[in-house]
Amino acid sequence: MPTLNYLCPTTSSELKKILKKKKTDSFILAGGTDLLVKIRHNVVKPKEIIDIKKIKKFNEIKLTKTQLNIGCAATLNEIAENKTIKEKFPAIADGSLSIGSTQIRNRGTLVGNLCNSSPVADTVPGLLIYDAKIKILSPTGTKTVSIHDFITGVGKNILKKNEIVESVILPLPKNTKSAFLKNARRKALDLSSVNVAVGLFNKSKKNPDIRIAVGACAPITKRAQKAEKFLKKNGLTDETIKKAAKMLPISPISDLRGSKEFRNKIAHRLFIKLATQLGEV
C-alpha cells in the first residue's frame, strides 16, 4: 500500500473543515469492507483517508415519532439486530443480514453499501421500497435528497468530492408488510445474482399500494413502477402477480454469478414468491 495520510475527526465541525480541503485522491472510510479491497487491487490509490466512525452521532440509530435515522457509521449487524428495523423495515434488516459474513457485518455499514453504489448492493432494494431520504453533509451544511435520485450509474452517485452521507432517513410507514429475498450461489460470503424487496403499504388487495424493487439485474436498481401501477389497478391475485412479473424493469447481464436467462427466471420467481406471501395474510 502507498503511504497515506490518515485523518480521524471526532466532531462534525472538524469533519467539515477537512471536507472543505478534500481532494479527489482522498477517500471516506467507514467499515472499509469495500474500500480496503479496492486499495489492495489498486482500483483506487488514496493519498488520504478520512475515517468517519469516531464521530459519535454518526453511530446512532435513532427513532422519532415519524422517522428512523440510521447514522453512516452504524454497522450492518447493528441494523440487522435493531428491534424497530426488524419490525418496521424487515427488507432493510434482512438485506443487511444477507451481506457477507458475521465479520463483514460487524464492520460494514449500510451507508457504505449505498455509497459504494454497486448494482448488487443488498440494502438498496429495501431503501427504495421505503422511499428513504439521504441526508448529505458538506462544508456548508446539510441537505436531503430522495433515494430515487441518489445512484446515477454502476459505482456512481450524486455525491460531490466534498460531500458525505451523514445518515439515511426512513419515514415510518403505517399498515405495512414487506420482505427481502436474495439468490446467491451459497448462503454466506456471496454477492447476489438477484435480490428483491417487496412491500405492501395498505391493506387493500383490490387496490394494493405495492412497492417493488429488483436488484442486480440492471446498472441502476429502480422501483418497478409499471408493475406497481398494474397491480394497484388490477388487484393482487395469482394471475395479476404473474403478469406483473413480466413488467419488472430488468435487463440482466450474464456473468460468473449467473446467465441472463437464469437471472430473468430467478427475478420472476423471487418476485412472485414475495408478492404472493404479502397478499396471503
Ligand X SMILES: Cc1cc2nc3c(=O)[nH]c(=O)nc-3n(C[C@H](O)[C@H](O)[C@H](O)COP(=O)(O)OP(=O)(O)OC[C@H]3O[C@@H](n4cnc5c(N)ncnc54)[C@H](O)[C@@H]3O)c2cc1C
Interface with ligand X by CB under 6 A: which residues?
27-35, 37, 52, 72, 76, 99-100, 104, 107-109, 111-113, 115-116, 120-122, 159, 164-165, 189, 191
59 makes contact with other proteins (CB under 8 A):
no
* Least gap, CB of 67 to ligand X (angstroms): 18
Residue 109 binding: pick among other proteins, ligand X, none (C-beta 5-8 Å cut-off by kind): ligand X
Q: Which of residues 26-45 bind other proteins (CB under 8 A)?
A: 29, 31-33, 36-37, 40
Provide the greatest CA pair distance for the chain: 61
Residue 3, binding choice from ligand X, other proteins, none, Cβ under 5 to 8 Å by partner class: other proteins
Contact call for residue 100 and other proteins (CB under 8 A): yes
* Cβ-Cβ contacts under 8 Å for 255 (sequence gap 6 or more): none
Element (H, E) at 149: none
For position 51 contacting other proteins by CB under 8 A, the verdict is yes
| CA distances, 78 to each of 102, 125, 170, 180, 214 (Å) | 11, 19, 16, 18, 24
Rule CB under 8 A: which of 108-167 touch other proteins? none
Minimum CB separation of residue 200 from ligand X in Å reads 24
CA distance 58 to 35: 19
**Which of these, 194, 215, 196, lies nearest to 266 by C-alpha position?**
194
User: Whole-number minimum distance, CB 157 to other proteins, in Å?
Assistant: 22
Cell of 203: 391493506
Q: Is the dihedral of CA 211, 217, 222, 228 positive or negative?
A: negative
Binding partner selected for residue 106 from other proteins, ligand X, none, CB under the kind-specific 5 to 8 Å limit = other proteins
Q: Which of 59, 106, 202, 277 binds other proteins (CB under 8 A)?
A: 106
State the cell numbers at 198: 417487496
Q: Can you read off the three cell numbers belonging to residue 229?
A: 401501477
- DSSP letters of 112-134? HHHHHT-TT-TTHHHHHHTT-EE
The residue ranges that bind other proteins (CB under 8 A) are: 1-6, 8, 29, 31-33, 36-37, 40, 49, 51, 53, 77, 100-104, 106-107, 187-189
